[in-house]
Amino acid sequence: MIKFQNVKKRYNDVHALEDVNLEIRQGEFISLVGMSGAGKSTLLKLIIGEEKIDGGRILIDDIDISKIGKGDLPYLRRKIGMVFQDIKLLPKRTAFENVAFAMEVCGHKKEKIAGDVPKILDLVGLLHKRDHFPHQMSGGEKQRVAIARALAHRPVLLLADEPTGNLDEINSDEVLDLLLKINQLGTTVMLATHAADLVNKVKKRVITLEGGKITKEQKEGKYQL
Ligand SMILES: Nc1ncnc2c1ncn2[C@@H]1O[C@H](COP(=O)(O)OP(=O)(O)O)[C@@H](O)[C@H]1O
Ligand SMILES: [Mg+2]
């Protein structure tokens, strides 16, 4: 599904990624680990085309994404959902409206939105909070709304960049369980995190980045540095 071939990314004199080779198959759950500054966010940003690569190739479904024209970038991004540590829901909109808004932006019809949003909120376990505003929800619930929003356009790949970075252990576990459930339902998931305890709970493929290089790959790994 995704191939990195000798990928390089520089920010001026910083080698954010160096000779990264990676193959991700459809349906995998991947934990991308490493200390702060290792290059995790950069790797995810390259996949969604938010940053350009300085060497090598990234293929998504055998299409070289550096050759995708600007006009086709939204099409690529619709295949991908992304969530961040910094949740950024629309504060004056309810859980329902936050997810609905993401669908409106993609041009879906009102009837489709009315039908789909409850299903997505149910999937993330928050149908009972559909009319709650962000300030009425816990951090974990807000992140689950953000995940619902990312799923609104039915992506085949979900990228999560430190999604539990601002959450306590209980809320982190809820978010992690949700990511695992989404993966079981068929979506490929990439979780970037520096949190060892989280990765050790997942027990799936672990890729370790250090100083922009992949230094370790484990099938059912534990976080080791
Ligand atoms: N926009 C940027 N400008 C300059 N340097 C950057 C930028 N983004 C990231 N970097 C640098 O690239 C390296 C990798 O960063 P990043 O991918 O954010 O790491 P991680 O997500 O693992 O913490 C770091 O040295 C960071 O300082
Ligand atoms: Mg990061």
Domain borders along the chain are 28-50+71-218
Nearest residue to 162 (alpha-carbon basis) of 80, 83, 90, 216: 83
When pLDDT is averaged across residues 98-116 and rounded to a whole number, the result is 95
Ligand number nearest CA of 84 is 2
What's the rounded Cα separation, in Å, for the pair 39 and 209? 7
Decide if pLDDT at 66 tops 90. no
What's the rounded Cα separation, in Å, for the pair 102 and 225? 38
Residue 14 C-alpha to ligand 1 middle, in angstroms?
Answer: 8
pLDDT at 91 (0 to 100):
97
- The protein residue with its alpha carbon nearest to ligand 1, atom 17, reads 39
For CA atoms 185, 189, 195, 201, the dihedral sign is: positive
Q: Give the model confidence (pLDDT) of 176-209 as tens digits.
A: 999 999 999 999 999 999 988 888 899 899 999 9
What's the rounded Cα separation, in Å, for the pair 79 and 76? 5
Decide if pLDDT at 170 tops 70. yes
In Å, how far from its chain's centre is CA 215?
22
Mean pLDDT over the full length of the chain: 93
Which H or E run contains 75? helix 73-78
- The protein residue with its alpha carbon nearest to ligand 1, atom 27, reads 37
Q: Which residues, judged by CB distance below 6 Å to any ligand atom, belong to the binding site of ligand 1?
A: 11, 14, 16, 34, 36-42
pLDDT at 224 (0 to 100):
64
Residue 115 C-alpha to ligand 2 middle, in angstroms?
Answer: 35
When pLDDT is averaged across residues 126-151 and rounded to a whole number, the result is 97
Nearest residue to 160 (alpha-carbon basis) of 107, 202, 106: 202
At 110 the three-state DSSP class reads helix
Residue 30 C-alpha to ligand 1 middle, in angstroms?
Answer: 20
pLDDT at 225 (0 to 100):
56
Taking the CA of residue 209 as reference, the ligand 1 atom at the shortest distance is: 22
Taking the CA of residue 194 as reference, the ligand 1 atom at the shortest distance is: 22
Taking the CA of residue 162 as reference, the ligand 1 atom at the shortest distance is: 21
Instruction: Work out the percent of the chain whose per-residue pLDDT is above 90.
Output: 80
Taking the CA of residue 12 as reference, the ligand 1 atom at the shortest distance is: 4
What's the rounded Cα separation, in Å, for the pair 174 and 157? 20
pTM, rounded to two decimals: 0.94
Confidence class of residue 72 from pLDDT cuts 50, 70 and 90?
A: confident
Helices and strands counted in the chain (H then E): 7, 10
Domain 28-50+71-218 has CATH 3.30.420.40: no
Of 221 and 184, more confident: 184
Among 9, 42, 54, 193, which residue has the most ligand 1 atoms within 8 Å of its CB, making it the best to mutate? Answer: 42
Nearest residue to 83 (alpha-carbon basis) of 17, 169, 178, 173: 178
Decide if pLDDT at 70 tops 80. no
Decide if pLDDT at 89 tops 90. yes
What's the rounded Cα separation, in Å, for the pair 149 and 135? 17
Decide if pLDDT at 40 tops 90. yes
